[in-house]
A and B are shown apart, each in its own frame.
Chain A
Amino acid sequence: MKSETAAFLKKNKKRILEAWVQNQMSDSTLRDDLISNEELSKQSDDLLDTLLKAVGSGELNLESESFQGVTDILSELSITRARQGFSPRETSMFVMSLKKAFYSLLDAQYKDDPATLYQASVELNNLLDHMSIVTMETFIQGREEVILRQTDEMNEISTPVIRVWEGILALPIIGTLDSARTQIVMENLLQQIVETGSRIAILDISGVPTVDSLVAQHLIKTVSATRLMGAECIISGIRAEIAQTIVHLGIDLSNINTKASLASALKLAYSMLGIEVRRTERKTIF
């Protein structure tokens, strides 16, 4: 870009900023519930400032060092917006609306010099296109981080080990049991067996929608590992349709203790430990 064009843009920064903020505010998709006008003006001011400084340096490549500041601000901004719940359209509008502000100014200034106008427009266009790509990229990255974090959180909450009685642990499994989750379940269970010195673990699969041969294989592995630790495993929560499916699939669970409900599994655990639970005759009057 010609240095006088860059200088002209720099000199008219205030006008560009005004036009830009105006453009953003007049856009019907502006989320004034998520961002205040002052904040919007400040963000625009910061970006425009760094951008014009970089343009003044003569280079127009977004990957060059002088544009580092611009990409930093853009990334920061779009990640924040992704987390705040802005839509992709609203986020990219931020950069897109700057184009209009530049063009109207250049158009007025270089009316009689089409060659300069054309050159400046093409260069600015390329630059702003790259800027919106950066915005989109980081926006999606920000969203993906949110998804990854949620997956981690889900893995964490989904495998509680409950001490139901002295020596009896229960593990309600909810959702699909894939290889990664089986690993977490098994680790948690084995660790709790060591810590509490429990002798019986009840795996409840009421919340597992489908038991296919892979899930079954994972269950069998968990049971084997528990047995190696000297504890016994009971699988409970086998629904009628799951039982039929397991039989048709040809999975052999006959050497594993299985029960239809957690209550009957608990009863079996009591009898294995020689515990008796009785109703007492009480004479208290309520």
Chain B
Amino acid sequence: MMTLSKETLAIQREPDVIYFRNKAKEYAVKIGMSMVGQTKLITAASELVRNMLRYANGGNAILEIVIRNNVKGVRLTFTDKGPGIKDVKQAMQDGFSTGRSLGLGLPGAKRLSNEFDIKSEVGKGTTVTIIRWKNGL
């Protein structure tokens, strides 16, 4: 996999969510992703950015255009230095939330993206990476 272009944005406040979403959309449009693909990508991005703001008081989000086997995609990486997730398996279950939300953010973001990876260490922070390919379902 190769990275074609890359940009890092700091997420600190609520308005950053909207700005980041617009940026993610820009990237998706740039590689010619379909309307449904774009919507899925920015919705997943929205969930993950909101999680970062809510549970870790913000962090960094990296936007990348990647290419693998001649297919382009958008990769988003969210890194925070928050409290970390104690039980990742539980957090990935539908309806589980420690913050009185619907509990669909993480599992929903996984279903909305083509590739999903989460690494978390209690006390250190969490990193979530998602990829949506141009021709992904």
Contact = CB atoms under 8 A, between A and B. Distances in A.
A213 B38 CA distance: 17
A170 B108 CA distance: 30
Interface residues of B, number: 23
A113 interface: no
Given A178-B14, A249-B112, A213 B101 contact: yes
A251 interface: yes
A264 interface: no
B47 A213 contact: yes
Nearest to B113: A248
A217 B97 CA distance: 13
A210 B102 contact: no
B39 A250 contact: no
B107 A210 contact: no
Given A176-B18, A241-B35, A251-B102, A210 B108 contact: no
A206 to B, nearest CB: 14
A211 interface: yes
A108 B43 CA distance: 68
Nearest to B50: A214
Interface string B31-45: 000011011101100
Contacts, number: 62
B73 interface: no
A248 B42 CA distance: 13
Interface string A224-260: 0000000000000000111011001111000000000
Nearest to A242: B39
Contacts of A216: 102
B39 A251 contact: no
A145 interface: no
B67 interface: no
B105 A244 contact: no
Q: Tell me which of B38, B104, B107 has the highest count of chain A C-beta atoms within 10 A of its own C-beta.
A: B104
A178 B16 CA distance: 12
Contacts of B35: 241
A249 B47 CA distance: 10
A210 B39 CA distance: 7
Given A178-B14, A244-B36, A213 B104 contact: yes
A74 to B, nearest CB: 30
Contacts of A209: 21, 42
A176 B111 CA distance: 22
Interface in A188-236: 209-214, 216-217
A223 to B, nearest CB: 14
A240 B46 CA distance: 19
Given A249-B104, A249-B108, A212 B46 contact: yes
B94 interface: yes
A175 B14 CA distance: 14
B109 to A, nearest CB: 8
Contacts of B105: 212-213
Contacts of A211: 43
Given A210-B39, A241-B36, 7 more contacts: A210-B43, A213-B105, A213-B108, A240-B36, A241-B39, A245-B39, A248-B40
Interface of A: 176, 178, 209-214, 216-217, 240-242, 244-245, 248-251
Interface of B: 14, 17-18, 21, 35-36, 38-40, 42-43, 46-47, 50, 94, 101-102, 104-105, 107-108, 111-112
20 contacts: A178-B14, A209-B42, A210-B21, A212-B47, A212-B50, A213-B102, A213-B105, A213-B108, A214-B50, A214-B101, A242-B39, A244-B39, A245-B36, A245-B112, A248-B40, A249-B104, A249-B108, A249-B112, A250-B108, A250-B111
